[in-house]
Amino acid sequence: MKKLSLNVSMLLLLGVIGTMAQEGPFSPEDWPETVDPSKEVHYVVTDPDASFEPAGNLWFEGDLQVMSGGDQATRGVVIGGFNGTRTLGSYLNVADAFYFDWGDDPVVDILIQFYGDGSVLAADGTPRNFTFLTGTLPGGPEGNLNDVLGGSLPVEANNGKWNWALFRVENGMRPDGGRFIDQPAENAQGNISAGGVNGGTIRFQNVAGLTVRVVAFGQEGSFGEPDQINRFEDKDFCAPPPETNHVWYDISQESGNQLELLDNDDQSVSFANNVGPANDKRRAAVADGQYMNFGITDEYLGKPCNDPVVMKVCVEYYDDPELAGSLLGPEAFATDAQGGMDVFPPAKLWHTEGSGEWRKIAFRVPNVNLSGIKTGAFTGGPRLFFETSGIHVSRVEMAVLRGGEHPLAGQDPLTDCFEDPAICTDLYGNFAEYDLQLETQNGLGPGNSGGDQEMVMEEAGPGEDRRLAVRAAMEDGTAGFPHTYMNFAIQDSIFGPSSQPNAHLSICVTYYDDPDLIGAKFRPEVYQRDLGGLTTFGFTPEDHVTTLQGTGQWREAYFEIPEIKFNGVNQGPQAAARFVFTDKIFFTRIRYGIIRPCGPFAGINPLEACKPSEPPTLSIHRNESGGITVQWPDEAGTFQLESTRDITIDAWSPFPGDPTVNEGVSSVSITVAETTFFRLIEAE
């Protein structure tokens, strides 16, 4: 009997050793062979045509749900031969109906089946860390939120195939003694129905464009080890994309460049002459049904096996007064060379306005495979859709917005075609102001002052110039934890709708340079922007910061954010960037300006007067006495020289003495015993 038991134990042990020795890549058709049936697992399969049977008695399908809406929006796509769920916003938020099951687990493993494209890597194509948000509001050092690293994926994960990946997430302890993935704390805020933020349990952070087919939560070791799972097949060979980025077809002139208008099946067209206003009659095409399609000849923009691209489509159409309010824009587009397809969001289609003029309207479509939709022997981009028959088109252009190391990276050949032409008019404002002292709210206000960005309003400033001002609550937060943020609301859509393309924002804030807070810092930190057709987070560089000097005066600080949406971060819509502070810094006035790329306000910065002058170049050379002379052009005495012996600790101080000014050149001469660094700042 003992011998039999020993043999069985040995067989079981060998079975475990055999399983643990296995390594990926594993087939997307079933669970990885490294799974442990004895562990507890909750999972969801987003592909309605897939069948993943539970691997053990504690494996529960349907406990998880992928949330959608707002900044965690998703959409179903067909790609790589399977159905998947693509993340459209910044987050993939997954709710677990039995989230409290993980309260005793110090680690939760997260297994996903994902499609390997550029979304799994950093913008420059290098590996990046995957972070996961657990817990609930409130945040802060003493709060209930935990942003935890789960691991990274190698560049081989961008292989154009379905893959498995395993992330390991620490389930740490909250200040109240519970775990972040557990029953919520008593002071939890927001939608905590699944134990986390915004109705979820574990939120994937900053994963715009990520496409998943399976998501599973499990006890540590439920799926094997990350180094067993995170192995990937090679990408199929394909010639690199050509050094091209632009095709067009002009129907009015019956000419084009590598783009042809198709006329077949449900995308047949008719032609008409003398279309348009009296002073601009043109030949144009009109869809017989609801679709118009174009083929790209000679694989001019690339092959179907190339990586998906961001495509900008420009449609020039007659804005017929009798068809005002009709929808037009891209419809379906290919996601792969095997017949996969996605659909352009209907909410982003254009409503015609009935101006009676020829109008240009642009659309940016992410993740386009160039195999095309119903393009026959040609490659192609998105097919066009028209809600109402009778919309005449005179010209269509398509551009690939190249990235990475491509020779045309960063170039847009369609700079005169906009997603919202109204930004080139005076329809939208370009200035907003919130002045607490004057009690003025001109398109800008205090925001909701909630969560981890609670604000305090009170008087501040020097004795001779006390003003009503606002600051982050910091340790005075009503929930008992530090608030390091302030957020302001854009009111009445003063700058136009959130659907417009990225705006160029200038910011001027009037702050109290408190002598008790020398060295304290603030900056507009996080905001939303459109990146490759997807709305995701942007962050200002950490060195774009204002540091208090302790002058005891009200001063102005200036910032610019070249590409920003008005969706807001934890505020709005609408809002711009959230400010972050290291101490109780008071603002008494906040101003926003928009620098438009076109139209009557093109290039005009409403806050130009707040923008600091660019410091002139310092010239440093040895003088006849063996010391050094520091010179700079500054006839008006606009700049002040500062110095430091240690540049690493940011300990700058005004250079003693007044400079000598001769023919518009300021200079100081000094004998320097140690290494000294110099800089110029705008004088008081």
- Is there a cis peptide before residue 258, judged by omega within 30 degrees of 0? no
Q: Are 113 and 163 in contact (CB under 8 A)?
A: yes
- 329 in the same domain as 372: yes
Residue with tokens 């464009």: 209
The domain that contains 480 carries what CATH number?
2.60.120
Q: Considering the domain boundaries, does residue 672 fall inside one?
A: yes
DSSP code for 649 = G
- 451 in the same domain as 600: yes
Cβ count near 128 (within 10 Å): 14
Show Cβ contacts of residue 506 under 8 Å, excluding neighbours closer than 6 positions. 558, 559, 560, 592, 593, 594, 595, 605, 606, 607, 610, 611
Decide the pairing of beta strands 431-435 and 554-564: unpaired
DSSP string, 18-48: HHHT--S---TTS--TT--TTS-EEEEE--T
Residue 56 and residue 222: Cα distance in Å, rounded? 10
pLDDT for res 633: 84
Show Cβ contacts of residue 374 under 8 Å, excluding neighbours closer than 6 positions. 262, 264, 265, 267, 293, 383
Q: Are 31 and 24 in contact (CB under 8 A)?
A: no
Show Cβ contacts of residue 258 under 8 Å, excluding neighbours closer than 6 positions. 247, 296, 297, 298, 300, 301
Q: Considering the domain boundaries, does residue 93 fall inside one?
A: yes
Q: Considering the domain boundaries, does residue 4 fall inside one?
A: no
Residue 120 and residue 114: Cα distance in Å, rounded? 9
Q: Are 109 and 222 in contact (CB under 8 A)?
A: yes
Residue 293 and residue 291: Cα distance in Å, rounded? 7
CA 143 to chain centre: 25
- 364 in the same domain as 461: no
Q: Considering the domain boundaries, does residue 10 fall inside one?
A: no
Cβ count near 441 (within 10 Å): 16
Residue 107 corresponds to which amino acid?
V
- 672 in the same domain as 552: no
The domain that contains 251 carries what CATH number?
2.60.120.260
- 623 in the same domain as 511: no
pLDDT for res 4: 32
CA 346 to chain centre: 21
Model confidence pLDDT, tens digit, residues 68-84: 987 788 999 999 999 99
Q: Which of 593, 610, 627 is the last residue before a domain boundary? A: 610
* C-alpha pair distances (Å), 264 with each of 22, 267, 387: 52, 5, 19
Q: Considering the domain boundaries, does residue 353 fall inside one?
A: yes
Residue 308 corresponds to which amino acid?
P
Low-confidence residues of the chain: pLDDT under 50 = 1-20, 477-480
pLDDT for res 11: 36
Of 206, 238, 395, 372, the residue nearest 296 (C-alpha): 372
- 401 in the same domain as 526: no
CA R_g for the chain: 30
Residue 76 and residue 125: Cα distance in Å, rounded? 25
pLDDT for res 281: 98
- 493 in the same domain as 411: no
Query: Taking phi first (over 0 means left), then psi (-120 to 50 degrees means alpha), and beta for anything else, what does residue 539 get?
Result: beta
- 128 in the same domain as 44: yes
> Looking at the 3D structure of the chain, how many domains does it have?
4
- 465 in the same domain as 379: no
Q: Which of 229, 263, 291 is the last residue before a domain boundary? A: 229
pLDDT for res 141: 65
- 85 in the same domain as 200: yes
pLDDT for res 672: 63
Q: Considering the domain boundaries, does residue 56 fall inside one?
A: yes
Cβ count near 305 (within 10 Å): 16
Report long-range pairs for 456-465 (Cβ below 8 Å, ≥24 apart): 460/512, 460/514, 460/586, 460/588, 461/512, 461/554, 461/586, 461/588, 462/552, 462/553, 462/554, 465/553, 465/554
- pTM of the predicted structure, to 2 decimals: 0.83
H or E segment and range at residue 12: helix 2-20
Q: Are 224 and 49 in contact (CB under 8 A)?
A: no
Q: Which of 389, 417, 445 is the last residue before a domain boundary? A: 417
Cβ count near 11 (within 10 Å): 10
pLDDT for res 660: 82
- 537 in the same domain as 590: yes
Q: Considering the domain boundaries, does residue 173 fall inside one?
A: yes
Q: Considering the domain boundaries, does residue 221 fall inside one?
A: yes
Residue 96 and residue 195: Cα distance in Å, rounded? 8
Show Cβ contacts of residue 4 under 8 Å, excluding neighbours closer than 6 positions. none
Domain of 505 in residue numbering reads as 431-610
- 253 in the same domain as 164: no
Q: Are 447 and 587 in contact (CB under 8 A)?
A: no
Decide the pairing of beta strands 291-292 and 327-330: unpaired
H or E segment and range at residue 285: strand 282-287
pLDDT for res 17: 42
